[in-house]
Structure 1
Amino acid sequence: MKTLKGGPGGRGVDVALLGVAAVWGGSYLVAKELTAEASVPAVLGWRFVVASLALGAVWLWRVRRVPGRAELWTGVLLGLTQAAVLFLETWGVAQTRASKAGLIISLVVVFTPLVDSAAARRWLPPGFFVAAVVSVVGVALLVSGGGFRAPNPGDLLMLAAAAVRAGHVTLLGTLTRHKPFSSVTITLIQSAVCTGAGVAMDPAGMATAAFAFGPSGWLRVLFLGLACSVFAFLVQLWAVRRTSAARASLLMGTEPVWAVLAGVLLAGEAVGWSGALGAALIVAGCHAGQRIEARTRLAVPELPGLVPASAAVAGHVGKP
């Protein structure tokens, strides 16, 4: 991949990471539109057929090394957890507003360090839990719709997706840390597993969707498969090696902002005063929790178990 202008840690890197965040933020609206034309398994199946073909081409270009048994089974296991996350997310976004989905899933930034520190029996400072509570209050306001009421099924599915993604990212770090695995190979295996899950769950729907999508539908599929998976993966892989983890987290952490902009500007979704306040609290709480987690990790370098907050955003094939 050609080096963008701006040098290490320069403007080119920042623009690239913001581009990843914008693409992922817009993916919720695109996925929601596709689920109106086909089933969730069919949407994900075709999305990862596209991603797998493109990643396969990258693998042939950059890797061309047959994975060993440990690498293969690691990719399969991570593919299964990734598939669980993506099915929850896509079913969730089909039943709620795209702007809400993008904000709720951002809770993974505070869920991941909680899961990882609990698994390692290490606890984060009290300030982190204050930030987490602020984020949860933000979600309550976001789903209230101007008056306090129970969240809809889509909201609950997005919350479940955030929790499962936290476990997935923790597992990702545990299984791949200090291992000579190829990132491209692992990601390709995950993508192939997600493809298989979509085909297995609804083979007839896959066939029907191939004719139901039409030109605009296939453009959305290509956007999810190429932009949200392959482009985002390659760009973040290039960029995070040229900037700090904290800066990468901050830039990619703008994803929920882009999700709200896409929902409001392109789909005409209404936020309301409570939704706007909730969105602000979620972004503020996640940002504060991310900074506290980063400071804790840097202050205790001999404890490598803490998963960087950036991994919660970047440690997967792509967004729904």
Structure 2
Amino acid sequence: MGQRMLASAEWLLLAVALVWGTSYGVAKLALEHYPVFGVLAVRFILAGLCLLPALRAIRWQAWRAGLPMGGILLAILLCETWALQYTSASNAAFLISLCLVLTPLAEWLLYGQRPAARIWALVGLSWLGALLLTGDSAMHFSGGDALMLLAAVLRAFGVCWLKQLADRQPATAQALTAMQCWAVGLGALALSASQGGLPPLPRDPGFWLAISYLAVLCTVCAFAIQNYALRRSDPSRVALLMGSEPVFGALFAWLWLGEAMGPLRWLGGGLMAVAAVMATGGGSKVEKGVGEKEEVGVVG
């Protein structure tokens, strides 16, 4: 019975990695119909409505932590979503995985927790992969690649900051996710108002299919499934399965969006995925960082 539950949890985690990997390509499709602020506002308000029951009986102290957490997530998502307008979905999926290798470096800068020597080797491996993925040298980095790299850095620091905020209040992970969704959605609306407001909502069914996928599957369902599965699997298996996210993203972009992926790009992306898996599964400090990310509700 225990082995069956473990196998079930691992299949569920693989499903989450698949859904999150495809989210970059789906978001790119949504951006063909609506601007960045609008896509974020509609996606996260819809997700917030789905999670509305989790907000019952939440005390003000929890909101004081949840709203800043939403602000951090909004900054990360703005970088990610803008980046998708200027880079490929496959590049985005691989570059964001750098956050797993950069998290221990962020812990070092913020808290003085020096990473193990092997982390430096993994950082070098990731950078080599990034160079192969985006071109023969850093000069080939597009503006979108640079924005996605900034998003990875923000995610690495965000994991540390979000953990601190989450530790100061008693709300459940689901309630924190709901607060983050509302903060992102309303924050995106406020930012759009400062730029003259949003155009009318698109009527194209493709837009609403993409937004529903992002809000319901990539946010609400993926987080609930992940919470269930994380309690029934061990960190190394979690790292291996979640490390497959960028590979799924590249496969989706190649098969569905028709993005070109030559041998060097596959090699570079593969090196980054390997570095992410080794970083999250190979040392206690880094496993702790990944666990922190999952518990406080950073959504893909």
Query: TM-score band, normalised by the shorter chain?
Result: over 0.9
2:76 aligned residue: 85
Confirm or deny: 8 A CA contact 1:100 1:260 kept in the other structure: yes
Residue of 18, 43, 49 corresponding to 2:39: 43
Structure-1-length-normalised TM-score:
0.87
1:112 aligns with 2:103: yes
1:16 aligns with 2:12: yes
Residue of 151, 165, 179 corresponding to 1:189: 179
Residues 68 and 205 from structure 1, CA distance in 2 versus in 1: closer, same or farther, beyond 3 angstroms?
Answer: closer
2:290 aligned residue: 309
2:226 aligned residue: 236
1:249 aligned residue: 239
Confirm or deny: 8 A CA contact 2:177 2:298 kept in the other structure: yes
1:279 aligns with 2:275: no
Confirm or deny: 8 A CA contact 1:79 1:190 kept in the other structure: yes
In 2, Cα distance between equivalents of 1:88 and 1:79? 14
Confirm or deny: 8 A CA contact 1:76 1:189 kept in the other structure: yes
In 2, Cα distance between equivalents of 1:99 and 1:4? 37
1:170 aligned residue: 160
Confirm or deny: 8 A CA contact 2:98 2:276 kept in the other structure: yes
Confirm or deny: 8 A CA contact 1:104 1:155 kept in the other structure: yes
Which SS does the other structure have where 1:19 is aligned? helix
In 1, Cα distance between equivalents of 2:122 and 2:235? 20
Unaligned runs of 5+ in 2: none
Residues 147 and 181 from structure 1, CA distance in 2 versus in 1: closer, same or farther, beyond 3 angstroms?
Answer: closer
1:26 aligned residue: 22
In 1, Cα distance between equivalents of 2:65 and 2:29? 33
Q: How many residue pairs align between the two structures? A: 298
Instruction: List structure 1 segments (4+ residues) > 6 angstroms apart after TM superposition.
Output: none
Deviation at 1:280, TM superposition (A): 1.5
1:65 aligns with 2:46: no
Residues 148 and 52 from structure 1, CA distance in 2 versus in 1: closer, same or farther, beyond 3 angstroms?
Answer: closer
- The amino acid of 2:173's aligned partner reads S
Confirm or deny: 8 A CA contact 1:39 1:205 kept in the other structure: no
2:92 aligned residue: 101
In 1, Cα distance between equivalents of 2:147 and 2:100? 17
In 1, Cα distance between equivalents of 2:268 and 2:295? 24
Residues 79 and 196 from structure 1, CA distance in 2 versus in 1: closer, same or farther, beyond 3 angstroms?
Answer: same
Which SS does the other structure have where 1:6 is aligned? helix
1:268 aligns with 2:258: yes
Confirm or deny: 8 A CA contact 2:101 2:276 kept in the other structure: yes
Residues 101 and 68 from structure 1, CA distance in 2 versus in 1: closer, same or farther, beyond 3 angstroms?
Answer: same
Which SS does the other structure have where 1:66 is aligned? coil
Deviation at 1:73, TM superposition (A): 1.1
Deviation at 1:272, TM superposition (A): 1.1
Map of 1:118-267 to 2, 5 A cutoff? 118-144=109-135, 149-177=139-167, 179-203=169-193, 206-208=198-200, 210=201, 212-267=202-257
In 2, Cα distance between equivalents of 1:293 and 1:158? 26
Confirm or deny: 8 A CA contact 1:34 1:43 kept in the other structure: yes
Give me the identity figure in percent.
31
